[in-house]
Structure 1
Amino acid sequence: MAFMINIDLPKPDRLIEHQHHLLSIGSCFTEHIGNALKEMKFRVLQNPNGILFDPLAVCNSLISYIDNKVYTKEDLFYLNELWHSWDHHSRFSHTDPNKALELINASQTKAHQFLKQTDWLIITLGSAFSYKITEEADRAALASGNGVANCHRAPAKWFKKQLSTIDEIIAKLDNTIHQLFRFNPKLNIIFTISPVRHIRDGVVDNNRSKARLLESVHHLVNKFDKLYYFPSYELVIDVLRDYRFYDIDMVHPNYPATEFVLEKFLQTHTTEGLLPLLQELKRLTVARKHRSAHPTTEAHKQFLKNHYEKAKALQEQYTYLDLQDEIAYFSMA
């Protein structure tokens, strides 16, 4: 008797290699996967603008990387003793506008250069809802933006919330994809929908939102070559389908759920021969995070020595890996 729905995950015609450059952009779920890929020594740049949820914000950010947009003070606004950008996460906000611009423009430059050599762009869409500035906003805030990627805890009356239509989402993504392929012809794109439930929108509106994202993405994947869909949403919602796979807030997938999705992603989008190496690298990361209660014991020194030798052997066998941090850490034996 089968107790779980199985999703067929055929391997695509192009696969991710360890030496490839991966740019991931979108919701908080993409950062869980991106961090795990980084720990397995993939070359990953994630969310140069910070976390983004809706397709309009994602597209605007990608186009700004293509154009290598330089932000000025006119693009910032002042609220709650900090200078913010409507296009960026609050991690770029600062008490000094020049410092905020320094952080933003350094990230823009890095994203522009990285996108030139990116092999795989992973886009995780979270919500079809977007926010627009209203006339209720302060003059400086109104002048510095229209669409909003992050609300920065501004008063609710400053914004108009709207659910984008399927046609609007397709049009925006279609235009962006054309610009991306002109900028970097070797680019491949993987779309995925975040399984995080946006309960603040209400259960019904959350499902309407996800449905519009799904329909839009599948339309584009069927239209373009080098576009792929990975079912993160379906793996959590339809395969795991249980609250024990959610965090205490009951909307964010927990560690076992994200690990399950990551495992399926690697099985689908990388070669089978790469998987044993990735497991070795993951074990090395776990060992590095280990904190001994008795670091002066011979047992801990032997633990460090064993993993130092393992890291050295992997570095020599796979010269494209960068294991210098691990080698330096385990050499403390």
Structure 2
Amino acid sequence: MSCPYTTLPASSFWRQAVSEHSSSDLDPHLPAQLRFGPDHRIASAGSCFAQHISRALKERGYNYYVTEPAPAHLTPEQEERFGFGVFSARYGNIYSTLQLLQLVQRAFGDFRPADQFWTDRDGRIFDLLRPRITPKGYVSMVEAEADLKRHLTAVRQLVETTDVFIFTLGLTECWVSKRDGTVYPTCPGCGSAGEFDDAKYAFQNLSVTETTGYLAEAINLMSAANPRLQIILTVSPVPLVATMEPRHVLQATTYSKSVLRVAAEEMVRRYDNVHYFASYEIITTAKSAGAFFADDARQVTSDGVARAMNVFFAHFTGEGAEAMAHSANEGSRKRPAAPSSEPRIVCDEDEFYRALAASRAN
């Protein structure tokens, strides 16, 4: 019998698939099994990097599906400030698979957090699960509850009626309520709403089993509510801004991203309606030698974003050679020292770190 490797395509061999390509034309994808067009409803959620996908969908004329639109009287700046249009609904950043699962459970009435709202010294009410949706809080619990009801209705509509849901996995580290396991986007009281109390909140770093289990449960719930739903999973290439683990943040980042990549792979193998987009591989490959990161080695440059988005559209929409050629041209530009000229990305994690750094400086 002949060696089975002799019949494999070029994409299976490192020299042909990686070594002989530059970072600007390296494509770690095989043809996707899913294709969508301008008429499909495309929704998204996830970590900060997920906003690049939603922004690209809008810019290229695809139907980015928003079920919680802004009131007509708000300016574009106010819309962003209050979390309208940043994602398909006003849930803010969703970093962990447990956070996604609990959001879906809440939308369908299967879970009601025991510790969700916090009142500051001025009597303003804040939603700890969406700490930056209302920067100055609500005037009363009546207002807060009404807004939450509208939000969860929009999330349920999103799950039941979208065609494609893109979820970017970001973190395994999270903070949960000791009372009922409610998970928060950031640690309460650390640069955001709430007050930290170690009797109420606990740090948790999700294992492979936990991360995969929560994601599978969320997919099961969403697919049961919407049998035609297609899901695209990605892993954010952005490193952790900080870690609570007693280890170097680089090790902590490697752990989190490895777990998330394994979870995504498990879902693709388990479900026919789940697909994977390799944004993580595109940005972090050694072939690019860090060219797709800014000087802080954390923020992804405009060249990196452009390359990832063009590969995404080439495979999932069939824009093909035109998109890939455009990406190569983008990659030939000089890398900026910092992403200051790029569109603002709303990121709970970064806001938390800026506030924390300011408090440490004082």
Asked if Structure 1 and Structure 2 have the same fold, meaning a TM-score greater than 0.5 normalized by the shorter chain, the answer is: yes
When the two structures are superposed, what TM-score results if normalisation uses the length of structure 1?
0.71
Quote how far apart the aligned CAs of 1:251 are.
1.1
Query: Pairwise mapping of residues 123-142 of structure 1 onto structure 2 (< 5 A)?
Result: 123-134=167-178
Quote how far apart the aligned CAs of 1:51 are.
0.7
Question: Can you list the C-alpha shifts for 1:77-104, whole angstroms capped at 9, x where unaligned?
Answer: 2246542223224224514134433433
Confirm whether residue 223 of structure 1 aligns to residue 270 of structure 2.
yes
Residue 63 of structure 2 corresponds to which residue in structure 1?
43
Q: What amino acid does structure 2 have at the position aligned with 1:226?
A: N
Residue 184 of structure 2 corresponds to which residue in structure 1?
148
Quote how far apart the aligned CAs of 1:9 are.
1.4
Quote how far apart the aligned CAs of 1:115 are.
2.2
* Residues 20, 43 of structure 1: 8 Å contact kept: yes
Look up the SS of the partner of 2:34 in the other structure: coil
Residue 63 of structure 1 corresponds to which residue in structure 2?
105
Q: What amino acid does structure 1 have at the position aligned with 2:183?
A: G
Q: Among residues 262, 269, 272, which one is paired with 2:319 in the alignment?
A: 272
The more displaced of 209-218 and 109-118 is: 109-118
Gaps of 5+ in 2: 1-18, 67-86, 244-248, 327-362
Aligned length: 268
Quote how far apart the aligned CAs of 1:203 are.
0.6
Structure-1 separation of matches of 2:111 and 2:292: 42
Confirm whether residue 10 of structure 1 aligns to residue 30 of structure 2.
yes
* Residues 132, 161 of structure 1: 8 Å contact kept: yes
Structure-2 separation of matches of 1:59 and 1:182: 14
Confirm whether residue 23 of structure 1 aligns to residue 43 of structure 2.
yes
Give the greater-gyration-radius structure (CA): 1
Confirm whether residue 235 of structure 1 aligns to residue 268 of structure 2.
no
* Residues 48, 93 of structure 2: 8 Å contact kept: yes
Confirm whether residue 159 of structure 1 aligns to residue 177 of structure 2.
no
Residue 177 of structure 1 corresponds to which residue in structure 2?
219
* Residues 131, 148 of structure 1: 8 Å contact kept: yes
* Residues 102, 111 of structure 2: 8 Å contact kept: no
Residue 139 of structure 2 corresponds to which residue in structure 1?
96
Quote how far apart the aligned CAs of 1:273 are.
7.7
Look up the SS of the partner of 1:124 in the other structure: strand
Look up the SS of the partner of 2:49 in the other structure: helix
Question: Can you list the C-alpha shifts for 1:293-321, whole angstroms capped at 9, x where unaligned?
Answer: xxxxxxxxxxxxxxxxxxxxxxxxxxxxx
Q: What amino acid does structure 2 have at the position aligned with 1:209?
A: S
Structure-1 separation of matches of 2:55 and 2:202: 33
Question: Can you list the C-alpha shifts for 1:200-226, whole angstroms capped at 9, x where unaligned?
Answer: 121101101111111111111101111
Quote how far apart the aligned CAs of 1:110 are.
2.1
Gaps of 5+ in 1: 135-141, 280-333
* Residues 126, 193 of structure 1: 8 Å contact kept: yes
Question: Can you list the C-alpha shifts for 1:102-132, whole angstroms capped at 9, x where unaligned?
Answer: 4333222222223222111101010111212
What value does the CA root-mean-square deviation take over the aligned residues? 2.9
Quote how far apart the aligned CAs of 1:47 are.
5.1
1:128 to 1:75, Cα distance in 2 relative to 1, 3 A: closer
Look up the SS of the partner of 1:173 in the other structure: helix
Confirm whether residue 122 of structure 1 aligns to residue 166 of structure 2.
yes
Structure-2 separation of matches of 1:3 and 1:116: 42
1:159 to 1:267, Cα distance in 2 relative to 1, 3 A: same
Structure-2 separation of matches of 1:242 and 1:274: 25
Q: What amino acid does structure 1 have at the position aligned with 2:30?
A: P
Look up the SS of the partner of 2:232 in the other structure: strand
Query: As a proportion of its length, which structure holds more helix?
Result: 1
Question: Can you list the C-alpha shifts for 1:264-312, whole angstroms capped at 9, x where unaligned?
Answer: 1000100238978xx9xxxxxxxxxxxxxxxxxxxxxxxxxxxxxxxxx
Residue 336 of structure 2 corresponds to which residue in structure 1?
none
Residue 231 of structure 2 corresponds to which residue in structure 1?
189
Question: Can you list the C-alpha shifts for 1:137-169, whole angstroms capped at 9, x where unaligned?
Answer: xxxxx68x7322233534374532221111111
* Residues 21, 120 of structure 1: 8 Å contact kept: yes
Look up the SS of the partner of 1:182 in the other structure: helix
* Residues 18, 42 of structure 1: 8 Å contact kept: yes
